[in-house]
A and B are shown apart, each in its own frame.
Chain A
Amino acid sequence: MKMKKAFTKIGALVAIVFALSSCYPGGAEYTTDTDIIVTNYDENYDFNSISTYFLSDSIQHIVEEGKEPGTSFDSYILSEMVRNFDALGWERRSDTLESEPDVAIVLTIAEITNYNVYSYPWYGGWGWGWYWKSTDYWGYPGYGWGYPWYGGTYVTSYTTGTVHWRLFDPDKSDEETETVYVEWEGALNGLLGTTGSTTKDRISKGIDQAFKQSPYLK
């Protein structure tokens, strides 16, 4: 009888200690622990043919209605993108009216809780620099994005503070369906959700990693 009581007590003790120790120990502790770098690309696109690119000087900010966008890191993000594209040996074209670049890159910063990459079509404020085909408007107003990897594994939604970019080939845009096809996509998930003294360092590391994990760009 005594043994049964002891058994019960020890059993209860073991169960409590184990329950308190949690079945999900460890995990993220700091903001930087949650940084995620995502890239995706069109496996049928020939990235070796790229030698020139256009990178818009403006970044699209998606904000809650009535809120001002936080633009303090915009120029730094753009400069880090340029540094990495230059390292690929690509030449940046800033005046696209003179000659059309092989590809163009546009950036978005999401300042909303759930940023769905499929919900935001072409942004008029990207400061487009050339006329589309023979029409008299700039850029691709009203056009949606086409993702060649649709049907495979992809990410549709990101958290607040995500830096997201799309690379596309202007020659592959579809006028009939009004679709701009994305050949390469990158995202730093939630990186600007909280900002601090290490934010620039995280931006640099994140963008560097996005290029590093995309060896097909070379």
Chain B
Amino acid sequence: MKIMKFIATTILAVFLATAGYSQGSIYTIDYTMGFATGDMGKYIGSTSFRGFTFEGRAFVTDNVTVGGLFSWSTFYEEQRGATYEQGSLTVTGNQYRYINAFPLLAQAHYYLGEDEYSPRVYLGGGLGAYKINKRTEIGTWALEERKWHFGVSPEVGILLPVSMTTQFNISMRYNYALKTNSAPAYSWFGLSVGFAWGD
């Protein structure tokens, strides 16, 4: 837990430092949809339409940026009359399942092409902390699990210029939060659409 908080703090510091750059920087705000996969997809199969992503990136060469990301996605699914079994215990009731995922990542991206006024595809990824809050409500009861995970996040995206300093940003990111001693792994795709500003 202490290590994860240290990682989160470090990434936040990188993010803030990047955001402080006044030259050769990109900031993005995206609306993010989530598509759970693996065991997380079995728990909540519904698409998440609640999410956003903030990013700050600073150019260290003409084609490479480093920076930080903060994102928030809410996954929700209702299961009516679902039966839950554990050992000899069986519980039936409507289940309301929630996952709130908060990636806080250090990132690096590589941009194809040289012309910043043309569409630019980028490849990259992030590394850092994932805070995952999982909550299952059954009737009037609730089971809640709040854990920090270490995770990785490869990404592909494109920046489409709309003015000298503003661009559309579209990206697809795969999030993988590794399992911990007491919590399973979580994985999902995030489709982000938004704006990027450079100065």
Query: Which chain A residues numbered 39 to 82 have a C-beta less than 8 Å away from chain B?
Result: 39-43
Those of A124-143 within 8 Å (CB) of chain B: none
Pairwise interchain contact B94-A33, C-beta atoms closer than 8 A: yes
Neighbour of A152 across the interface among B87, B98, B140, CB < 8 A? B87
Interface residues on B, range: 35 or more
Q: Which of A37, A149, A152 has its CB near the most chain B CB atoms (within 10 A)?
A: A37
Determine which residue in B29, B88, B96 has the highest number of CB atoms from chain A within 10 A of its CB, and name it: B88
Give every chain B residue within 8 A of A25 (Cβ-Cβ): 50, 74, 76
Q: Tell whether, in the assembled complex, residue A43 and residue B88 are in contact, meaning their CB atoms are under 8 Å apart.
A: yes
- Asked whether B54 lies within 8 Å of A34 as measured between CB atoms, the reply is no
User: Measured between alpha carbons, how far is A214 from B86 in the docked complex, in Å?
Assistant: 13
On whether the beta carbons of A37 and B91 are closer than 8 Å, the reply is yes
Asked whether B93 lies within 8 Å of A35 as measured between CB atoms, the reply is yes
A190 closest partner in B (C-beta): B140
A and B contact pairs by CB, cutoff 8 A, 19 listed: A3-B166, A3-B197, A14-B52, A18-B72, A23-B50, A23-B72, A23-B98, A27-B137, A28-B140, A33-B94, A34-B139, A35-B93, A35-B94, A36-B92, A36-B140, A36-B141, A37-B91, A149-B89, A153-B86
- Residues of B whose CB lies within 8 Å of any CB of A are 27, 29, 31, 50-52, 54, 72, 74, 76, 78, 81, 83, 86-94, 96, 98, 100, 133, 135, 137-141, 165-166, 195, 197, 199
